[in-house]
Structure 1
Amino acid sequence: MKKLLLCLLLSPVFMFSQQIDLFQQFNGRLDFTAFGNTLNTQENGNGAPCTILTSSSAALNLLPNQTFVSAHMYWAGPGSGDFDVRLNGSPVSADRTFSLTSGAGQTYFGAYADVTPLITGSGLYNVSDLDLTAAIIPACNNTTNFGGWSIIVIYEDPSLPLNQISLFDGLDYVSGNQPSLEITLTNIEVSTDKLAKIGFLAWEGDRGIANNETLLIEGVLIDNPPLNPGNNAFNGTNSYTGSDQLYNMDLDVYDLGGIVMPGDTEITINLTSSQDFVMVHNLITSVNSEIPDATIVIDNLGVLCQNRDINVNYTVFNVNSTAFLPANTPIAFYINNTLVGQSQTVADIPIDGSESGTITLNLPLGTPVNFDLKAVVDDVGDGTGIVAETNETNNEFILPVDLNEAVQFLGPDIQSCIGMTVTIDTGVVDPAFSFQWFFNGTPLPIETDPTLDVTVDGTYTCIVTEGACTATDSIDVFFNVQPFAEPTIDLFQCDANGDLGFFDLTVNDPFILGTQNPADYNVSYHLTQAEANSGANPITPATAYPIATPPVQPIFARVEELTGTCYATDEFFIQFDTVSAGPMTNIGGLCDEDSNGEVLLNLVALKNAEALNGQDPNDYSVSYHPTQLDAENDTAELPNPYNVTTSPETVYVRVENNASPPGTCAAISSFIIEFFAAPVLIEPSTYEVCDELPNDGFAEFNLPTKDDEITGSNPEAVVVYYEDFNDALNGVNPIANPTMFVNTTIGFQTIYARADNVNSTDCFNVIALDLLVNDSPPITDPISDYILCDNDE
């Protein structure tokens, strides 16, 4: 990997910032583009309102032959920072953060996140939840209220030459107090200036301030009017789109053709400003730089021979490069920094290619048992390289060596399981070696390979020989009993039963062991099959495990013999269900309108929603029962609709979780049903009174005298009289003085008696009462004398 070094030469002024350094490099037929947007609605200062948006959008446009590789998002603003935002609705948290305090004491922040998984190609992208509102007002006081975001996109194009993309970032600035900033990109091998370019992300540039605000690259003034004039390089523009309304944010890219030259090894960038405060957040370069990058890895060591020779197997790589690594690239080997051997590559190694090799080193007398073996590629033996590389600091590999392990080339003793085959491996791959195996000291004549398959306990020895090199090692192999896992049982809890979701997993110990002796085995419980297989991360304590993902979570049980080598597993589920019933409210004031002693109710329509209390009716069942015991046992379910024949009557509601094993998870509640009978009314006789002369057809009636006749002397009936039938039904406009009621129609009138149940004014019946006014007989006036004769005289 090529490493571009960055040097900053700053004026000796008061400041707190983060130096711009190399962050990442990319090599291949690659290029970059960028898109983004400001959160400012207009350029700050000059009386602009002190407001800022919390979201904005911008488009990414890739051509059909350009393949997306990666995306790198930056955002910034005043204050201590908002490091959690959203990209097209998906959360984005900062991977890296930056801070800057200017000479005026104002604090600013920057952030970076790799958003490669969130970019799907060309399209419109929206950044939201970037909330700087709390920090804007203090920043408005010195006209540095800004905010925005950008995304650098690396893409592949097969028509491009081999390029190196270098991404630098930090948070540094130029201003009237710190008028210059110099950045030197070194260790670059420029093959050609074709398609070379550089991009900048800068903040707080003002279009209206053009006081010696310059950008020079390799001493060349960048003058690109009208977007970027030479005296106002950072002025709220986007040269990717040609926009001049990227307020207080600059997203610019410049061609380096004619500025960098073939053979250049560094690029110098100078920024100046005699007034405008400008922060640089990142810069990115693309140059055609066709050079290799050699790295090396020590793969393994061979056996340590009696003559102190040892084989070292290694691999040389040429990755993150833009050219092949030439043949005969030197390789040096050191023990604790003392040169002990040299080699070289055999063939040209292509880009992203590798080459493996082996060297025999003779360990000098006095070599300690533990030492560092260092391999360095592109090293002639004194630390000098002969190949120009993209990264001159990644050529070495250090392997800590313990000679005891080299002597014991068969490794440690092996524990295995009865019925399995163990392959003992010398680790020697050099075909020049010969091998002879022994079992418990007895030669195995036909076993002459570098590996040996064994199936029985014993001590196995191998003698390896190559010329004068001889080494011997022994190993003990043990075959342990293979446990078996009997079926476990699923465990269930329900909160309605007082359970809290803590499971005693050891309930399954006797189930998984079956007839196996518990003293000979260990049982553990794990969250994944992989952990059960490896025995890693056993659940502790297994007697009180809180379910992590209710309602159902798999648990993996492992039974192993005491060495932990042989095991078997089984899976079961723990289930924690929830259910509630109610709270329920009573049903009161019902009316038995026909006074037959029963009321028909649709309990499902009246009470199911209340019983479920927000629980999904598809997941829970509701039933009604006459007693608590019936509700608990789910027996004697009441029909629906249900005839209530007793008042008051207690009804018990049962709500059951359908996902639970039947009958195991139900909650019980109850409510009271109370009804009243509407008074039974008897059709009354006509209420007749005698008119008084002059027989005008109107008379006075004492209506309550008909109460007992109408109600049959029902003590629970209260009678009220009305002139109008509808008024009687609605209980409005009663006759004001029923004891002295005078009919309002001549001679005959029908009025209405309403009898309410004394306990419920809504439970009543209405009956008609006819009123009749009879005329008084006429009297002759004058009345003639009535004369009789007394015949006795």
Structure 2
Amino acid sequence: EMEGENGPTLEVTETDNYILQVYDNQCGVYAVSQTVQVNLYNEAVPVDVPDITNCDDASNDGIGEFDLESQTAAILAGQNSDGFTVTYYSSLSDAQAGVGALSSPYTNTSNPQTIWVRVEDTNAVGSNSDCFAASNTFSFDLIISGPTPTVSEINYDVCDDGSNDGFASFDLSSQDLLVLGSQDPADFNVSYYLTENDAIAGTGALSSPYTNTVNPQTIWVRVESNASATCFSVGTMTLTVSPAPTASMVPDLGSCDSNGDTLPDFDLTMHEDTLLDGQTGMTVTYHTSQADADTGDNAIQVPSFYSSNTPATIYVRVESSPNCYNTTSFNLLEGEEPVTTITTDSDEFEICDNTTTPLILTAVPGNYNASEVSIVWYEDGMTLSGETGLTLSVLTGGYYEVEVTFNSTGCTNIVGQEVITLENCVVPQAISPNNDGKNDNFDLSAFDVQKLEIFNRYGVLVYSRTNYTNEWHGQSDSGDELPVGTYYYVMRYQGGKEKASWVYINK
């Protein structure tokens, strides 16, 4: 019994079952008794609901999926989310009738499309209590703003300065069009970030120009639709500082066509070591114009075998990356081959087996000085290391060649000479010590002489020497010049052999 409630009306504040009893004042008993169930529901407060804007897909048809339930929190706006049920409808009448609720995710049927909201006390759902919020203003739009932007991931290379320290200033905004590719720059905004999270959040954009902190460095790019900030894509860009190449001056090349062709062949790569001067990782190309060298276009396909009229100019591009290069040039000139003749100190290209006295081969210049050329000697086709002069000392027979190259043009010529090994060398029977380079010495270098003694016709010892080769040229032990005549010798050689014979001094 509710004390004091004996009037014809009752104000209730909670859901419950209430009993109404009507008494007969004369009899003191109630004449009527009725039970009434009273349900009290909370009424939702309508709020302004933000629109949902999505990016279009590749079809660009203005149709897409929307997460309607993502709006629930904003619709309830701080009200008890457990006490209300939120449903979505494609028309106001459906929302007011509570029929045809849309499922989520929902695919729009037009662009834009209005969605109406019905908010109802959860306990009142299906009660036909009319205790709900659904009105013409309780709605929002589904909007497809445009195609999802794409990000072209690119490498941004710049040349280092003279310091070659790996750091440089990058004009990031200059890459916007490359990042967008075929997309209309009027429809999108491009920004750059240090991290992926910053790019996704759209916070902490880098200013341009930007100086890298490591080399190479990866930064992040955000491409955002101007129609909606929620319509964006992110990708990466690699910043690379390439070493600034140098292109050292190289000598001109001369045509060395001994046949006199009008189109001589050139090895344009001949001086590449000089060109690069120790640089590594460089790409070298050769061009017929400065413009092509600057753009890297129309490179000569086979630079090591290039035919050209002379004179001509070749332009060289040294590149560390497509945008980092240097150029130089050299000329193709009329040239000639070096002319060389090989001679010996004895006028004979013969040598005794096991000789200890070398035969001197001399490359006699015909049209050059030694300072103008580079020289390489070969024995039976093998390079003789360190032999780069005009003379070569040989102790064995074989085929000897000298390669002479003009330093200025690269023109090269090779001449050769066979040196014959004599199997049976003989002891000279005469010498003529007149300093004409012929038979001046008693040459026993082929015999490994341990000791030589020379006597005059009276048997007097006039000269003696151990470990003899070719030191006697008609002198006595005291250095006096001996007279013309016949002298007798005894030599001990080849580990114990002995030979006695005569030799004649002729002047």
Could you state the TM-score of these two structures normalised by the residue count of structure 2?
A: 0.40
- CA radius of gyration, larger in: 2
